[in-house]
Amino acid sequence: MVSRTVLALTFALVLVWIAVPTRALADEGMWLFNNPPREALRSRYGSEVTDAWLEHVQKSAVRFNSGGSGSFVSADGLVMTNHHIGMDTLQKLSTKEKDYVNDGFLARTRDREAKAVDLELNVLMEIVDVTDRVKAAVKSGTPPEEAFKARRAVTAQIEKESQDKTGFRSNVISLYQGGKYHLYRFKRYTDVRLVFAPEQQIAFFGGDPDNFEYPRYNLDVCIFRVYENGQPVKPQHYLKWSKAGPARNELVFVAGHPGRTERLLTAAELETLRDREWPYQLQRLYRREVNLLVFSGRSLENARRAKDELFSVQNNRKRREGNLAGLLDPALWAAKLEAEKKFKEALLKNRSLKSTMKAFDRIAQAQKVRMARLTDHVLLEGGAAFDSVLFEVARTLVRAAQERARPNEQRLEEYSESERPSLELRLFSKRPIYDDLESAKLAHSLAFLAEQLGAGHPLVQKVLAGKSPRARAAELVTGSRLKDVESRRALYDGGAKAIASSGDPMIALARAVDPEARAVRKVFDTQVMEVKRQAYDQIAGAKFALEGPNSYPDATFTLRLTFGVAKGYDENGKEIPFAVPITGLYERASDQKNTPPFDLPLPWVRCQKTLDATIPFNFVATTDTIGGNSGSPVVNRAGELVGLIFDSNLHALVRAFIYTEVRARSIAVHSSAILEALRKVYGADSLAAELTGGK
């Protein structure tokens, strides 16, 4: 583990943004493409990033709306991401007879590529600063509820105008916790076809024991092809392949979509994350993991059906444990408090910024409101009480009927016109829905509802309708017709009248709980989020006044550029190399007696002697990445692809609220290893040739 002294020092330095004017230190930063770290790259590495380079990398990068990143990697529309990002699609395409998650997939000709049922990819085409227009719509002193409505109205208007004008998906993104607002315009792709995926056992070799560890030996790769009008897309920008990959200490870049960080939050908000929210999340994740493990253990088919969801729960559980461990470190916490104290002292010394002190009090008060209603929000609006795909469909239909009848500016944001295509893609997905898995998950979550609120609570009584959680779940699942896509479409097209007259039990349940769910959402929107948004806006203004505008905002699952070097680290006096060779895979399997999860797929056993032992398999870099970056391309100064991000080590899990490069590393698949596996393990020579520019 990293020493407390080193981490505390790093933490104090990183959080100095709230103390004195400075720029990000070391290789820190999830930078906006319209505000790249030019000065840091120039001073630290003597490197320049041109506008042409930035545009090329930006428009080569791809966002997977299922959660993750990717990139165009060929002139004929190939997109590469991680196996665990593509796993959602693999699971939906699989059947009892054809398990693409377990066995892998390879389309040797284009007519055999398998179309994803509901996958949407986004490419960022343009960024427009709309801060002045958004802030002008919310007058100073406006009560929170009115301010929320005004802000929602103007962002919906901006998005609709942009979508009508350009045809691009258009989203207004809040940055710096409300300090700035940028309009992001995305090119949408929905005809996405699976080309290649290895067996999960090599994509996730070592399983949960090796997750977030290093060295690693994972071929965590999945390749799709994007089509438009029935033909492969010919992207203007795609990443050319580097056969050599990165050298030791070479400067590399990552272009991806980090999900969420909390680096700019106040101590009051981090305290509630540490003491209430993250422990509560972990409690739920532990329960869900056990429930899915029990279900999976009943049969091989059960295990196949639950595999993707179980993987996601286990991954999130381990990541959240690492996040919480960082906040529980006394030295880190003391450094955070000290940094915030110094920032406040700086504010008090500045007459024009002194009033910013009140923003901290407003955030603390908003957090008290949040904590008072946290359980209700998680259970009802968050859906933790109704863990079911069918319930998600029912809620979407019930709310769509109400929201579509309102002006666009007054709708919940997920029902706005800018979000409608994505919503309908998900709603009418032909994904498989299994009654047994749905019933098991729903029964478990209904029991959780009763435990949290008490069996005698009026809402619990209403939801269970005089039955046990298991019996009620079975009744709801087996009685619903929402598994049928045409039934969903009829209810969606029929609007409020069709929803009101529907006898579907899931629709009835969604109708019954929606008023209370909306009520708690309104409290969070107006008394928590809007109050904090205004307060953080004021803090951001003070930060810019002290430091200048050359800083990066917290992650928002939008495209960011990070940089660093391919570099190993020291672990308990042992040097950990930046890259590990393919031979390490076989040594790891042998050391563990080839027992699961360290057993090798048969194709890898057969080809052991034919593989080039000198080729690196996985490597690490100091790049600033987090969840959401999975599938991000690693590129060199020339903009060539040298690797594929798939994880980080345990030391990097604190990056949710702190950057450190002492031992924290991003982990990537080496570009050479991908080609070696395609050619020698899978016989996919034509695919390897396409990736390297051949025919």
In tens, the pLDDT along 99-122 reads 999 999 999 999 999 999 999 999
Is residue 80 over pLDDT 80? yes
Q: What is the pLDDT of residue 695?
A: 60
Mean pLDDT of the chain: 94
At 25 the pLDDT is 53
pLDDT category of residue 243 using cuts at 50, 70 and 90: confident
pLDDT value at 16 more than 70:
no
Question: Does residue 474 carry a pLDDT above 80?
Answer: yes
CB 571 within 8 A of CB 663: yes
Is the pLDDT at 18 greater than 60? The verdict is no
Q: Where are the domains of the chain?
A: 24-115+218-260+553-691, 121-189+355-551
Angstrom distance (rounded) from CA 671 to CA 479: 50
Percentage of the residues of the chain whose pLDDT score is greater than 90: 90
3-state SS class at 402 = helix
Q: Are 657 and 271 in contact (CB under 8 A)?
A: no
pTM, entire model:
0.93
Q: From CA 564, how far away is CA 546, in angstroms rounded?
A: 27
Q: How many residues does the chain have?
A: 695
Residue of higher predicted confidence among 548 and 184: 184
Give the pLDDT of residue 608.
97
> How far apart (Å, rounded) are the C-alpha atoms in residues 685 and 676?
10
- Pairing of β 641-648 and β 560-565: unpaired
The pLDDT tens digits of the residues spanning 49-62 come to 999 999 999 999 99
pLDDT of the residue at 23: 40
Which CATH fold topology does 24-115+218-260+553-691 show? Thrombin, subunit H (2.40.10)
Residues 371-401: pLDDT tens digits? 999 999 999 999 999 999 999 999 999 999 9
